[in-house]
Amino acid sequence: MIPLGPIIFGFIFGVIVGSQIKTGNISDTSFKASSYVIIIIAALIMAWQLGEFPYYDFLPISSGFVFALIGVLLSKFLIARSS
Amino acid sequence: MSQILKLISLPISIILICLGIMTILGGHITPGGGFQGGAMIASGVILSLLVYGLGNSPIEFSHLYVEVFESIGALGFIVLGLIGLFAGGFFLYNVGADIFNIVPASIQNLLHYPDTTNAGIIPYLNIFVGLKVFAGLSCIVIAFEGFKKFTEEDEG
Q: What is the pLDDT of residue A41?
A: 96
Distance, in angstroms, between B57 CA and closest chain A CA? 6
Three-class secondary structure of residue B117 per DSSP: coil
Q: Shortest CB distance from A5 goes to which of B21, B55, B113?
A: B113
Whether residue B76 is predicted with pLDDT greater than 70 in this model: the reply is yes
User: Which pTM does this prediction carry?
Assistant: 0.92
B69/B66 Cα distance (integer angstroms): 5
Q: What is the pLDDT of residue A81?
A: 65
- The verdict on a CB contact (< 8 Å) between A50 and B22 is yes
Average pLDDT of the residues in B122-139: 94
Three-class secondary structure of residue B89 per DSSP: coil
B50/B148 Cα distance (integer angstroms): 12
Please report the beta strands in A1-83, taking only residues with DSSP state E, as ranges in sequence order. none
Least confident of A1-10, A60-69, B66-75, B109-118: B109-118
Average pLDDT of the residues in B53-67: 90
Query: A54 in contact with B at a CB cutoff of 8 Å?
Result: yes
- The verdict on a CB contact (< 8 Å) between B60 and A64 is no
Could you tell me which of B109, B107, B73 has the C-alpha nearest to residue B88?
Answer: B107
Mean pLDDT of chain B: 90
A45/A33 Cα distance (integer angstroms): 19
Q: What is the pLDDT of residue A82?
A: 61
Average pLDDT of the residues in B126-137: 95
Best mutation target among A11, A12, A13 (most B Cβ atoms within 10 Å) is: A13
Mean pLDDT of chain A: 88
Whether residue B132 is predicted with pLDDT greater than 90 in this model: the reply is yes
A17/B98 Cα distance (integer angstroms): 32
- The verdict on a CB contact (< 8 Å) between A62 and B30 is no
B136/B87 Cα distance (integer angstroms): 31
Spatial contact of B107 and B95, defined as CB atoms under 8 Å apart? yes
In this prediction the ipTM stands at 0.93
**Residue B13 DSSP class:** H
Whether residue A48 is predicted with pLDDT greater than 90 in this model: the reply is yes
* A32 backbone dihedrals φ, ψ, rounded to 5°: -100, -175
pLDDT in tens, A6-34: 899 999 999 999 999 988 877 777 888 89
* B27 backbone dihedrals φ, ψ, rounded to 5°: -65, -25
Average pLDDT of the residues in A53-60: 81
Q: Shortest CB distance from A25 goes to which of B22, B25, B56?
A: B56
A22/B92 Cα distance (integer angstroms): 38
Whether residue B35 is predicted with pLDDT greater than 80 in this model: the reply is yes
Instruction: Categorize the per-residue pLDDT at B139 as very low, low, confident or very high, splitting at 50, 70 and 90.
Output: very high
Instruction: Categorize the per-residue pLDDT at B155 as very low, low, confident or very high, splitting at 50, 70 and 90.
Output: confident
Say what percent of chain B tops pLDDT 70. Answer: 99
Q: What is the pLDDT of residue B97?
A: 85
